[in-house]
Structure 1
């Protein structure tokens, strides 16, 4: 039923036909609306997911003390926004939720749809059986997991070894490599992140990120437009990382 669609996803493109047929028997299609939470940190892991269209963000509640409730001049309490860290963005063709499936633990992150999304859900027990019986499926999973670890290590080193403008430049270039589309103006990146979410990813305040992005735009390295950016001078951004 879903075999042809699965074959188009990079994760499953090199599977044997028999493996795709076996996978297809257990795949459950799923759709999410923008802002909808798929699972929360601490939930039981019921299976893994492969994103077909849209974007999903993985966040983790912060260990820092939550802000206290403040009282406005009119005597009304303000409800603080829970602090969280944005750990990863999932794009089309990528899987997520596999670690909890493999180790049997609960979810370590919260998954939220950033756009309207179409996904494939594969329950835990059938997935473990497929991994055991079809080596090309387990190989495909290990390949993507290794790629994710490599990318994460590169991002961590890029964020740790630079100041905030350098970290912001690195993040923009990384988003450009994953989600960018070449245009006459430069690389157009629809990252779908708010400035607060960008700030979470580079470990800075939203105000600082706003100043950095405004500075980059003033230097004509980028052009900002809502939740997207056009990278106009990639060389300057790379130089700023160093």
Structure 2
């Protein structure tokens, strides 16, 4: 269990199966995983689609508090987890007071945007065989396996 001052102030131990928020909820907090994993999913035509399963060091939920919009996905705890829960005011104070945190968030958002761009390109331009090849290459890359294309 975490015993850092940050965890003492903002941390929560959250059991497996807990839904932190649902798609469409109003967002007032963002989350930083200290241990455990969280599944991010979206429902399309009554079918749940897992967008990602994220772990230690990852953050999520920031979009809703950055742009004051509803949650765009659902977040469910996959393993018993230790998670920092940061409200909007604290988040803004942290960003204003620490350029390292701001830069890390900007880099992560840029990475997510690039991944979304790649998915759009893959869906719009390529045939099914090319999509499958790209998906397998992405999975291999995510697992740390070198590929030749």
Q: TM-score range by the shorter chain?
A: 0.7 to 0.9
Q: Deviations over 1:184-240 (max 9, x none)?
A: xxx5xxxxxxxxxxxxxxxxxxxxxxxxxxxxxxxxxxxxxxxxxxxxx944xx4xx
Match of residue 39, structure 2, among 57, 70, 76: 57
Q: Which residues of 2 match residues 104-183 of structure 1 at below 5 A? A: 104-178=68-142, 180=143
SS of structure 2 residue aligned to 1:41:
coil
Alpha-carbon distance, 1:115 to partner: 4.1
State the distance in 1 between where 2:26 and 2:131 align.
34
Match of residue 66, structure 2, among 96, 102, 125: 102
Name 1:29's counterpart in structure 2.
12
Change beyond 3 A, Cα 1:32–1:169 = farther
SS of structure 2 residue aligned to 1:118:
strand
Equivalent pairs counted in the alignment come to: 147
Name 1:2's counterpart in structure 2.
4
CA contact (8 A) 2:14 2:77 kept: no
Per chain length, whose mean CA-contact separation is higher, i.e. which structure has more relative contact order (CA < 8 Å, sep 6+)?
Answer: 2
CA RMSD, Structure 1 to Structure 2 (Å) = 2.8
Length-normalised TM-score, structure 1: 0.51
State the distance in 2 between where 1:115 and 1:171 align.
26
SS of structure 1 residue aligned to 2:89:
helix
Q: Which runs of 5+ in 1 are unaligned?
A: 4-22, 65-81, 182-186, 188-232
State the distance in 2 between where 1:54 and 1:169 align.
31
State the distance in 1 between where 2:135 and 2:18 align.
25
Name 2:25's counterpart in structure 1.
43
Largest Rg, 1 or 2:
1
CA contact (8 A) 1:29 1:119 kept: yes
